[in-house]
Structure 1
Amino acid sequence: MSVSTSRPEPAVAVVTVDFPPVNALPVQGWYDLAAAVGAAGADPAVRCVVLEAAGRGFNAGVDLKEIRRSPGHEALIGANHGCAAAFSAVYDCPVPVIAAVHGFCLGGGVGLAGNADAVVASEDAVFGLPELDRGALGAATHLARLVPQHLMRTLYFTSRTVTAQELHRHGSVWRVVPRAGLRAAALELAREIAAKDGALLRLAKAALNGIDPVDVRRSYRYEQGFTFEAGLCGAGNRLREAFGRPEREQEEQQEKAPEREREAP
């Protein structure tokens, strides 16, 4: 499990997230991601950052197992702060950030992609917020940067996903490519951006952030207050437990299997 940074070509940094099996990040993972993006953007030799992921999908949000097994609200608070740090690192990165999205982009993944400056996606990519099914709230701030307001609300209330092709039609995904060509497409766009004057790029990023109609940091922190309230009233824990029950039952069956084999005549 790691967050790593590579330099495949001049002026471009690639931050790769790899937390098997589904890139559901634990608290420390979100902070590691924030640190990696921040360090890449702080390097004066870097003019563009590509954020990608290894494995089955781009990001499945927070590690619900970590929250379930942690006593009290410590892990929930940690996830709140960790997500806020990672999302802000992408948004506040001094140079443009391109999200290269494949497979599923859920929960926190939408927070990352929604705060990126550009999104390139593979044909199998889907985006969504299953928060109401997972006992949490949040990232509507970022989904609203990807789709129109009424569609955002419908997706949020239903926990449905939207495809990369649909987002391309809305203009929030730059290109949709076969999965095998995702990295090449992201690097192609990064190369074009990185060819610009570095000082002017950083000024442009600051200027565009300055004219945003919504303060994404404050908006997301406001949403997180309701996530915590859901935890306090019991709704959050109830839904998280229900979501994790089939998986725990399967694990219990697997643990009992050797005992049954020993008991068999």
Structure 2
Amino acid sequence: MTITRKRVDEHIEVVTVDAPPVNALTVAGWFELADTVRAAGADPDVHVVVLRAEGRGFNAGVDIKEIQASSGYEALVGANRGCYAAFGAVYDCAVPVVAAVHGHCLGGGVGLVGNADVVVASDDATFGVPEVERGALGAATHLARLVPPHLMRTLYFTARTVTAAELQGFGSVYAVVPTSELDDAALELARSIAAKDTRVIRAAKEALNGIDTQDVHRSYRFEQGFTFELNLLGASDAARQAFLDEKGS
């Protein structure tokens, strides 16, 4: 697994996740991503961060195998804390974060994208929160930033996905492009932001977070509490194992 930073323009930092086969991150991976995004935003020469991924899709959430392979709740607690840190790093990043999404964007992926400032997606991108089928809860906070309330509930209860084109209709995805054009589209948008006075843009980012109608940190942490309850009840372990058995893992 690799999470890298690369300066592609004078003031644009690209953070890339590459964790084959589906970019489902381990506990360490979530914390590494959080540290990388936070460090990029803290660099005064960085005006915009682009968050992207290699491989088959943008992000498939947590590494369920790691949780199932561990005894006790250490890995579960680590995954929850790691996701909380990574989502928070994107939201609190001192500069705007442009998410470039392709393929699947599930669970933790929605947490990242829902906290990003701008979303550009390929025409094959799909978004969803399959947590109820994995015996967990979470990322409804972030899904609610992408779709209207009743659709969010429907998607959450059914674990269904929506397309990038549908999200563009709601205004939560800025642009939908062919996969081959995704990186260029994200960079073009990033350049238009990076060209502005970074002092103003950084102040604008802080101001926009300050007037948000929902405290995303507290809201997501509240959701996570129910995941712990479900694990204590045994529902989560059964659901995760059923998923792994179905996948032949």
TM over 0.5: yes
Aligned with 2:224: secondary structure? Answer: helix
Does 2:39 align with 1:39?
Answer: yes
- Deviation, structure 1 residue 135: 1.2
Note the residue ranges of structure 2 that are not aligned, 5 or more in a row.
none
TM-score (norm. length: structure 2)? 0.99
Partner of 1:93: 93
Q: Percent identity?
A: 67
Per-residue CA deviation, residues 179-210 of structure 1 (Å, 9 max, x unaligned), is 00000000000000000001111100000000
Q: What is the alpha-carbon distance in structure 1 between the residues aligned to residue 44 and residue 165 of structure 2?
A: 35
Aligned with 2:60: secondary structure? Answer: coil
Q: Give the greater-gyration-radius structure (CA).
A: 1
Q: What is the alpha-carbon distance in structure 2 between the residues aligned to residue 106 and residue 94 of structure 1?
A: 25
Per-residue CA deviation, residues 15-58 of structure 1 (Å, 9 max, x unaligned), is 00000000000000000000110010000000000000000000
Partner of 1:213: 213
Q: What is the alpha-carbon distance in structure 2 between the residues aligned to residue 147 and residue 49 of structure 1?
A: 24
Q: What is the alpha-carbon distance in structure 1 between the residues aligned to residue 247 and residue 193 of structure 2?
A: 44
Runs of 4+ residues over 3 Å off in structure 1: none
Q: What is the alpha-carbon distance in structure 2 between the residues aligned to residue 80 and residue 229 of structure 1?
A: 13
Partner of 1:173: 173
Per-residue CA deviation, residues 105-152 of structure 1 (Å, 9 max, x unaligned), is 000000000000000000000000000111110000000000000000
Q: What is the alpha-carbon distance in structure 2 between the residues aligned to residue 106 and residue 35 of structure 1?
A: 21
Partner of 2:48: 48
The one-letter amino acid paired with 1:65 is: K
- Deviation, structure 1 residue 213: 0.2
The one-letter amino acid paired with 1:85 is: A
Partner of 2:136: 136
Aligned with 1:95: secondary structure? Answer: coil
Q: What is the alpha-carbon distance in structure 1 between the residues aligned to residue 193 and residue 66 of structure 2?
A: 38
- Deviation, structure 1 residue 246: 3.0
| Matching of residues 1-265 of structure 1 within 5 Å | 1-248=1-248
Q: What is the alpha-carbon distance in structure 2 between the residues aligned to residue 185 and residue 22 of structure 1?
A: 23
Q: What is the alpha-carbon distance in structure 2 between the residues aligned to residue 90 and residue 246 of structure 1?
A: 33
